Amino acid sequence: MGSMGIAVLNPSYKTAAQKLFLKHRKRRLGKANSSATQRSNSRRLARRASEASQKRSVRMYMSIFIGLATELEFNAA
């Protein structure tokens, strides 16, 4: 597993940086979002975040299972 495992477990820093950038740009432009827009935005962000975390956990479990399988194969050999 090694260094690849760390990359899989860490959330991507790029999207976090983009989100921060967009937030600050909006603030600079002085755009006041209506509450409805904010609600839909937060709902969309929450859905995207949960999808991402699901993908991450799936990847983590996959790597664990692959590791277990290879270990079992080595023991059987």
In a domain, 4, yes or no: no
Q: What is the residue range of 41's domain?
A: 14-76
Identify the CA nearest to 52 among candidates 2, 9, 6: 9
In a domain, 44, yes or no: yes
In a domain, 5, yes or no: no
Our count of domains for the chain comes to 1
In a domain, 52, yes or no: yes
In a domain, 18, yes or no: yes
Which DSSP string corresponds to the chain? -HHHHHHHHSPPHHHHHHHHHHHHHHHHHT----HHHHHHHHHHHHHHHHHHHHHHHHHHHHHHHHHHHHHHHHHH-
Whole-angstrom distance, CA of residue 42 vs CA of residue 40: 6
Q: What is the pLDDT of residues 1-57, one digit of tens each?
A: 444 444 444 556 567 767 777 776 666 555 555 677 777 778 888 888 888 888 888
More confident residue, 27 or 63: 63
Report pTM: 0.34
Residue 67, pLDDT score: 83
In a domain, 42, yes or no: yes
In a domain, 25, yes or no: yes
